[in-house]
Amino acid sequence: MTDTRKRWLRRLLVLPPLALGIAVLAWQVGDREAPEVLPDREMVRPARVTTLQAADFTPRALAYGIVEPATVWNAVAEVSGRIVYRHPDLESGNILPAETVVFRIDPADYQLAVTRLGAQLASAEADLAELEVQEANARNSLAIEERAAALADEDLQRQQTLRARGTVSQAAVDAAEQAALTSRQRVQDLENTLALIPVQRRVLEASIAVNQAQLEEAGLDLERTEIRLPIDARIAEVNAEVSQFVSVGETLAVGDGIETAEITAQIAPDQFWPLLAALDLDVSDMPTDEFLQLREQIGLTAEVRLAIGNFVAHWPAEFNRVRETVDPQTRTIGVVVVVDEPLRNAIPGERPPLTKNMYVEVALTGRPLPDRIVVPRVALHLGADGHPVVYLVDGEGRLEIRPVTVAFVQGNLALVAAGLEAGDRVIVSDLIPAIDGMLIEATEDEALTGGMLATAAGEDPVR
């Protein structure tokens, strides 16, 4: 057998197994059903939602400030002299009651001045009394002289009548006339004396008034040698010692009142104005007396807090006023609150004394706003036009992108003025991408809804 025939024979031997394999494959394929063609399915995106409810909203804000005493007393010397007494407990940090004599300046010179001016006043009063006696004597003398002058005039007339009859000499008539003129001169002198008495009285009365004023001034200076605390105070500074000479206007000590403390809490305007959102005031035509009572109409309440590690102390406070200007550096508004009895109301282990220069936070609360719509801050998004929008789930379970008007943002909440209503389901989870009309599988976040309503009502601390 040739080599060529052997090669063909080997090739032919391959054909039967190949044909058998093809037959088996054809049988298996022909016995199967054609694959099912499924229709296209729309993608569903899961999302957490909160169902909106109309509820009362309490505007709140947090501010920070430094504790200062409401009253600071400066012991200023009103007279000069050498200090002869200083209270033994007059030291920085000590608390002294009102009316305590803290300093005494040597009173010797002022006592002498009181004595001297008292004597001058007594002398002027004696001169006035003497003048009153002189006036009374002059009036009595005037009455006598007027009667004597009348008699002298009658005698002159009689002498003149007799002279006309030739029974008396001219010398007798001249003597009677001289006596009448003398009497009239005495009357005139007394009348002049009485005319000067009112002027002399006014001079003496003015002198008495001056002496009285000087005596009162000397008495005040004598009282001012004792420096007393006008209030219960905690001593902050002491600047004078015994035997030291002090001048008028020199500050000897400083005391901080302990009755009330003030905190000027700095707050940004965009956080402060929402606190007044419940007010409906028109101050343009408001009478002055009502304008002065505007503080009561604002109706803010306050609480002072101090964090000490993990412990937080609380003090009830009262809104007092708003500072007159905006801070030029921080651009914040100063809201002044007052805490009564900051030292006496300390509770060991619970509330320390509220002392000067403590840095504290002040929680301010405005009047509640009824029936408002609030959403979590994370539910706000920026629309294509740059305005805020929220993502809603509509009645068909699809995404709706709706523009809204935000009144203001407070912490993790936003108060919506327009665009939403109770019953709307707002998406609070991230959707990337968010396509209007996409199918949403919504899951109600009840915990978030309850917490949001509690925060809106002011039931938890503002942060």
| Unique residue bearing structure tokens 């002058």 | 149
State the Cα–Cα distance between residues 11 and 23, nearest whole angstrom. 20
pLDDT score of 38: 47
| Unique residue bearing structure tokens 């029936």 | 371
pLDDT score of 116: 94
- CB 421 within 8 Å of CB 437: no
pLDDT score of 72: 94
270: nearest Cα among 364, 372, 408, 388: 408
* Mean pLDDT value across residues 417-440: 89
Phi, psi of 419, deg, nearest 5: 115, -20
Enclosing domain of residue 158 = 109-223
Judge if 98 and 240 occupy the same domain: yes
Residue 1 lies in a domain: no
Residue 116 lies in a domain: yes
Between 323 and 227, residue with greater pLDDT: 227
* Mean pLDDT value across residues 247-264: 94
451 beta partners: none
Residue 441 lies in a domain: yes
> What strand order describes the sheet that includes 72-76?
72-76, 251-257, 233-238, 95-96
Judge if 133 and 213 occupy the same domain: yes
* Mean pLDDT value across residues 14-19: 60
The 3-state DSSP composition of the chain as helix, strand, coil percent (nearest 5) reads: 40, 30, 30
| Residue 288: band (very low, low, confident or very high) from pLDDT cuts 50, 70, 90 | low
Sequential DSSP letters for 36-80: P-PPP---EEEEEEEE---EEE--EEEEEEEEEES-EEEEE-SS-
* C-alpha 89: how far from chain center: 33
Flag whether pLDDT at 459 surpasses 50. yes
Question: For the chain, what percent of residues have pLDDT higher than 90?
Answer: 44
Judge if 235 and 211 occupy the same domain: no
Flag whether pLDDT at 277 surpasses 50. yes
Flag whether pLDDT at 382 surpasses 80. yes
Q: Which residues contact 218 (CB under 8 A, 6 or more apart)?
A: 110, 113, 114, 117
DSSP state of 194: H
- CB 332 within 8 Å of CB 266: yes
Question: For the chain, what percent of residues have pLDDT higher than 70?
Answer: 86
Flag whether pLDDT at 349 surpasses 80. no
181-189, long-range: CB < 8 A, 24+ apart: 182/152, 183/145, 183/148, 183/149, 183/151, 183/152, 183/153, 184/149, 184/152, 186/145, 186/148, 186/149, 187/142, 187/145, 187/146, 187/149
Sequential DSSP letters for 357-395: T-EEEEEEE---EEEEEEEEGGGEEE-TTSSEEEEEE-T
Judge if 212 and 79 occupy the same domain: no
Judge if 250 and 266 occupy the same domain: no
Final residue before a domain boundary, out of 365, 386, 407: 365
CATH no. for residue 401? 2.40.420.20
Final residue before a domain boundary, out of 331, 348, 365: 365
Instruction: Quote the pTM value.
Output: 0.68
State the Cα–Cα distance between residues 56 and 373, nearest whole angstrom. 9
375 beta partners: 414
Final residue before a domain boundary, out of 365, 398, 413: 365
| Residue 63: band (very low, low, confident or very high) from pLDDT cuts 50, 70, 90 | very high
Residue 66 lies in a domain: no
Residue 394 lies in a domain: yes
Could you tell me whether strands 439-444 and 44-51 are parallel, antiparallel, or unpaired per DSSP bridges?
parallel
pLDDT tens profile 156-190 = 888 888 878 878 888 888 888 888 888 889 889 88
Judge if 344 and 283 occupy the same domain: yes
pLDDT score of 20: 64
Flag whether pLDDT at 2 surpasses 80. no
Judge if 120 and 138 occupy the same domain: yes
Query: Comparing 125-129, 334-338, 350-354, 376-380, which segment has the lowest mean pLDDT?
Result: 350-354
Residue 160: is it exposed, middle or buried by C-beta count within 10 angstroms (0-12/13-18/19+)? middle
| Unique residue bearing structure tokens 């394929």 | 29
Residue 20 lies in a domain: no
Q: What is the mean pLDDT of the chain?
A: 85
What's the number of domains the chain is made of?
A: 4
CATH no. for residue 243? 2.40.50.100
Residue type at position 415: L
pLDDT score of 385: 87
Residue 17 lies in a domain: no
Between 68 and 461, residue with greater pLDDT: 68
